[in-house]
Amino acid sequence: MLTTADELAAQVELSPAERAGLAASASLFRVGVTPYYASLMDRAHDSCPIRMQVIPRAAEGQIRAEELRDPLGEDSHNPAPSIVHKYPDRVLFLVVDRCGIYCRHCNRRRLVGGDEPPTTAELEAGLDYIARTPRVRDVLLSGGDPLLLSTRRLGHLLGRLRAIPHVETIRIGTRLPVVCPMRIDDELCATLRRHHPLFVNTHFNHVKELTPEARAACERLVDAGIPVGNQTVLLRGVNSSVRSLRALMRGLLRARVKPYYLFQGDTVIGTDHLRTPVEDAQRLYRGLRGWMNGMAVPMLVLDAPGGGGKVPIVPDYIESLDRERVVVRTYRDTRVEYPQPRERDCGVPYDAIYFAGEPDDDDREGSAPDSGDELG
Ligand code: SF4
C-alpha cells in the first residue's frame, strides 16, 4: 500500500495543495492507496478523480463548525461492540477496521484506518447480540472492508450468521472490487455462494474506476449468483457532472452492477470541499431520470445527520395533486395531467385487505420496538 508523500510522488506529480494535504494528513485521516488503484492515477493532472479520492488536499484541514465526527449518529446506536442498530430490522456489523484505500470523503474516518481491529471477544459479542435479537432480519457486514478478512475467516463468520434462524439476508459492503479487483478470486466467490441469499454492495464513484479488471471482478461475483449493487457518493469536482454520472451508471449496468444509491455527501469533518449543494444534486439527478434506462438510475438520498436515516431528495416531479387529477412534470419538462380513479374505495379498510403471507416482523416475539427504543 502507498502511504507516504514520497511513495505517491513516485507515482504522480504532486500539486502544492496535495503536498500540503499530505503534510497535514497525520492529524486528519490516514492515507493509503493500493498499488492497483494508484496505477489508475493521472500523473499530470491533480483534478484526476482517482487522485481526488485518495490524496488529501489542504482544504481537508479546514474543519467547519457544522461538520461532525460521527455524521450518521452511529455511536449512539451501539447496543453491542461492533454493532450499529439504527433501523428496526437490520444491523451493521463492523467486522474490520482496515480498508483497501482511505477515501477522503469517508464518513467513518473516526473508526477506520486505526490499529485496533475488533477483537474476537467483540465479534462474539456482536454475534451474540444478533442471535438474541429476533427482529434482525438482515446483517450488513462493513467496517472497514470485510473482504480484507481472510477467506477462511470470512467464511467462518458468514457460517455463524447463517446459523441464526432469523437472519434472512446478509449483505457485504466493500470497495475491493474497485480498488483491488484481484481479491475477488474463485475461492472467495465459492465461499460467498455457500451463504445465499447474500448481496454485495460496492462503491464506484467514477467511470475511470470501471477498468476491465474491476468489471471482471463484479462479473465473477454475479456469476456466483451474488447480486451486486453500487453506492456512489456525489463528490464535487470528481463526479459532479451529468456526463460523468451517466457514463458511470451505464458502465455499471454493462458490468451487471445495479446502481443503488447516489449519496449526497455526509457532513463529516474535513469534507466541505467535496460536497455539492443539494440543488446541484437534484439538477444532476434530473439529467439521469428519463434519459437512461431506469435500471441505471440510482435513488438520490441524503443520510440525515444525527442518525435520522436515509431520506430521498429526488426533485419533486408533482406540480399539483387533488382528488380529481395530478399534474406532473416529465423528464423533458413538459406538463402532463394524470386522472385519479373515479372510485377511491376498495370496499374494505386497507389493513383488512386479503393477505395470505406470514405475519410481519412486528408480530415476532420480542421484536416490536418499545417506546424507549432509539431505532431510527
Ligand atoms: S472504503 Fe469505505 S470505509 Fe473505507 S475509507 Fe473508503 S469509504 Fe471509508
Phi and psi at 11, nearest 5°, equal -100, -40
Tell me how far apart the terminal alpha carbons of the chain are, to the nearest angstrom: 37
Instruction: Name every residue whose Cβ is closer than 8 Å to that of residue 303 and which is 6 or more positions away in sequence.
Output: 71, 72, 107, 263, 264, 266, 309, 310, 311
Give the pLDDT score at 234.
98
- The amino acid occupying position 374 is E
- The amino acid occupying position 171 is R
- Any ligand 1 atom below 6 A from CB of 175: yes
pLDDT tens-digit readout, 174-202: 999 999 999 999 999 999 999 999 999 99
The residue count of the chain comes to 376
∠ CA 302-305-311, rounded to 5° = 30
Has residue 365 got a pLDDT over 50?
Answer: no
Q: Cell 427482529 identifies what position? A: 135
- Any ligand 1 atom below 6 A from CB of 178: no
Task: Give the pLDDT band (50/70/90) at residue 363.
Answer: low
Has residue 371 got a pLDDT over 60?
Answer: no
Has residue 203 got a pLDDT over 80?
Answer: yes
Q: What percent of the chain has pLDDT over 70?
A: 95
Give the pLDDT score at 367.
44
- Any ligand 1 atom below 6 A from CB of 274: no
- What separation in angstroms does the CA of 198 have from each of 162, 168, 249? 10, 9, 23
Give the pLDDT score at 372.
34
CA distance 165 to 189: 23
Mean pLDDT for the stretch of residues 310-330:
96
Task: Give the pLDDT band (50/70/90) at residue 353.
Answer: confident
Has residue 361 got a pLDDT over 70?
Answer: no
Has residue 368 got a pLDDT over 70?
Answer: no
CA 232 / ligand 1 centre spacing (Å): 12
Has residue 373 got a pLDDT over 50?
Answer: no
Query: What cell does 52 get?
Result: 481526488
- Among 25, 95, 108, 142, the mutation site with the greatest number of ligand 1 atoms within 8 A of its Cβ is 108
Q: Could you identify the atom of ligand 1 that is nearest to the CA of residue 173?
A: 2
Has residue 278 got a pLDDT over 50?
Answer: yes
Q: Could you identify the atom of ligand 1 that is nearest to the CA of residue 99?
A: 4
- Arithmetic mean of pLDDT over the chain: 93
Give the pLDDT score at 306.
87
Has residue 301 got a pLDDT over 60?
Answer: yes
Q: What is the DSSP letter of 294?
A: G
Q: Which of 363 and 202 is assigned the larger pLDDT?
A: 202
CA distance 158 to 310: 26
Give the pLDDT score at 31.
97
Give the pLDDT score at 352.
86
According to DSSP, the residues that pair with 301 across neighbouring strands are 263, 312
CA distance 261 to 203: 10
Alpha helices in the chain (DSSP H): 5-9, 16-24, 35-38, 49-54, 120-131, 151-162, 176-179, 186-192, 212-223, 242-254, 278-286
pLDDT tens-digit readout, 101-147: 999 999 999 999 887 889 999 999 999 999 999 999 999 999 899 99
Q: Which of 271 and 356 is assigned the larger pLDDT?
A: 271
pLDDT tens-digit readout, 9-56: 999 999 999 999 999 998 899 999 999 999 999 999 999 999 999 999
Q: Could you identify the atom of ligand 1 that is nearest to the CA of residue 143?
A: 3
Q: What percent of the chain has pLDDT over 90?
A: 84
Give the pLDDT score at 375.
34
Q: Residue 170: name the closest of 198, 203, 207 by CA.
A: 198
Give the pLDDT score at 116.
84
Residue with CA nearest ligand 1 atom 6? 103
Give the pLDDT score at 360.
67
pLDDT tens-digit readout, 249-259: 999 999 999 99
Q: Is the dihedral of CA 306, 157, 103, 235 positive or negative?
A: negative
According to DSSP, the residues that pair with 84 across neighbouring strands are 92
Q: Do the strands 299-304 and 258-263 form a parallel or antiparallel pair, or are they unpaired?
A: parallel
- The amino acid occupying position 320 is S
- Any ligand 1 atom below 6 A from CB of 85: no
- Is residue 97 a contact partner of residue 143, using CB atoms and an 8 Å limit? yes
Q: What is the DSSP letter of 160?
A: H
Has residue 94 got a pLDDT over 90?
Answer: yes
CA distance 5 to 13: 11
Give the pLDDT score at 345.
85
Q: Is the dihedral of CA 285, 287, 288, 289 positive or negative?
A: positive
- H/E run at residue 86: strand 83-87
Mean pLDDT for the stretch of residues 223-238:
98
Q: Residue 131: name the closest of 186, 184, 93 by CA.
A: 93
